[in-house]
Chain A
């Protein structure tokens, strides 16, 4: 396995993140606080083979989100994301 391709994507983080997010996070648009790129969270590079979960901007590699589920306490750091935008109307449709 090439160590340079040791990431998955936002789809792989969705199950764990459902502990905190009430809406589907993969289709949320997020803006990287470092480079300003706006991408769907599904396209973020996710590193989950570590003591937590780290999502990085696919363009610049900056940490967008860090998450850890440590014995029932859930930690979330979203400092690397300027915003997450969820299309509430579409979510409503999707859950019907």
Chain B
């Protein structure tokens, strides 16, 4: 029937861990080779399912960090939560060669497609950087000239994910403009005292509303609500702000 679009039903697929890389003391990136992976759009996530020998299973959602590619592999970055059930396993137990099950790619709203030409504003709180990094990487690999800006709020310098890559991007200047905000501890000689995102940071660290950017805000729920309220107060159109909330402690169940 013309106009009907039935997406391929999401089934659980087997993924093999092919590489691991620590981003910070508590966050690890897993590179996964996924059988028959259909490809993804930047911003989508996967659900990962772990099953214990007695049949007990736990499912958690993780954003895909890597840019779309045709090699059938994806990367996810997992932050280890102090009372987590799944994240300690994924960040400390899992070894290269292990298999996981995952379902995806999931999500069609919180995505950036490389045919979008408007200015893009990315706002990340903590582990909320993951899907936004996929957008940055997708933007780069597509050679897109859409203007990109990132406002990345973290607790302290040691908690920045993808540090080297972001620094290299910063140095390139035209790739993406990056503003860091520190909420607890700043780098030495930092011009601002530690604080959560406020109106002043929005003014200095994001595209002005007149440019009509599409904004993507991701992080813990309280971060997303605060940042979104500030963007709207600064004059941004609610319709042009897309959000993705992680649990208050950063975990998406």
Contact = CB atoms under 8 A, between A and B. Distances in A.
Interface of A: 1-2, 5-12, 14-15, 18, 22-24, 26-27, 40-43, 48-49, 88-89, 91-92, 94-95
B243 A42 contact: yes
A7 B42 CA distance: 24
B37 to A, nearest CB: 15
A91 B7 CA distance: 8
Contacts of A92: 3-5
19 contacts: A2-B222, A5-B220, A5-B221, A5-B225, A8-B247, A9-B244, A11-B109, A11-B244, A15-B45, A15-B59, A18-B10, A18-B106, A22-B7, A24-B7, A27-B108, A27-B109, A48-B253, A88-B5, A92-B3
B224 to A, nearest CB: 8
A41 B108 CA distance: 11
Nearest to A40: B109
Pairs A-B, 8 closest by C-beta atoms: A24-B108, A91-B5, A42-B109, A92-B5, A1-B248, A26-B109, A15-B47, A27-B109
A43 B243 contact: yes
Interface residues of B, number: 34
A69 B73 CA distance: 30
Interface string B50-81: 00000000010100000000000000000000
B12 to A, nearest CB: 10
Contacts of B220: 5
A49 B108 CA distance: 23
Interface string B234-253: 00000000111111110011
B144 to A, nearest CB: 18
A6 B248 contact: yes
Interface of B: 3-10, 41, 45, 47, 59, 61, 103-104, 106-110, 220-222, 225, 242-249, 252-253
B7 A95 contact: yes
Nearest to A7: B221
Nearest to B49: A15
Contacts of A12: 61, 245, 252-253
A43 B107 CA distance: 12
Nearest to A21: B7
A7 B245 contact: yes
A56 to B, nearest CB: 13
Nearest to A89: B3
Given A2-B248, A7-B221, A8-B246, A94 B4 contact: no
Contact of B221 (A8, A18, A26, A49): A8
A43 B8 CA distance: 24
Contacts of B107: 11, 14, 24, 26, 42
Given A26-B108, A43-B243, A95 B5 contact: yes
A65 to B, nearest CB: 16
